[in-house]
Amino acid sequence: MKKKLRHFIFQELIFVADPDSFSDDDDLLAAGLNSIGIMRLIMYIETAFGVTLPDAEITVENLQTLNLLAQWIKGHQA
């Protein structure tokens, strides 16, 4: 899951010079993930992983790192 998330985020949303050195605990928001990027990411997640993510849960706590993001998605998978 994290591999797919990484690919989408660094391919489509944020530029980082060396994606491999960006850890699963590094701050995605500080790296440049902005509001329209978050919207695109959520649409991607809902399609790619077959989950529905409630608007009320679109918070810093769920989006700040790849680990938190993956944890959030897993919480909504059947």
Partner 1 sequence: MNSSKDPIIQSLNPADYLTLAMDEEIRQENMPGSLCGFALVLDSLPDVIQLTARISEFTEQFPLALASLQQQGDRFHWCQRTQPFSIFFQHKCADPESAGTFQQTTLLTLLNQQQPRETLAPLEFHLISDPNNTVFLLRWIHPFCDAKGADLILKYLCTEDKAQRTQFDLPKSESLVNVHLAKYKWWQKIALFLKAKRYITRLDSYHSIQHADLSHPPKQLNCITHTFSAEQSGVIAQQVRSNVGLTGTSLYYIGCLIRALHGLAPEQAGDAYCVPYAFNLRKQNVRTPLLGNHIGTLFAQAPKTVIANRIALFTHLKQQNKETIQQQLDYAFLPIMWAASWLSLKKYGSELRVSHGDGSERSSVWFSDIGQAEFVARSFFGADVVGLRHLCQISSPPGIALLVCQYRQQLTLSYNFIEPLFNEAQIEQLHQLMSQELLGAAS
Chain positions contacting partner 1, by CB under 8 A: 12-17, 31-40, 42-43, 55, 58-60, 63
Cα torsion angle, 33, 30, 2, 74, sign: negative
Decide whether 21 or 35 has the Cβ nearer to partner 1.
35
Structure tokens at 16: 């980082």
Decide whether 40 or 76 has the Cβ nearer to partner 1.
40
Decide whether 1 or 58 has the Cβ nearer to partner 1.
58
With 0-12 / 13-18 / 19 or more C-beta atoms within 10 angstroms meaning exposed / middle / buried, residue 45 is buried
Nearest-approach distance from CB 32 to partner 1, in angstroms: 3
Nearest-approach distance from CB 67 to partner 1, in angstroms: 18
Structure tokens at 32: 């440049």
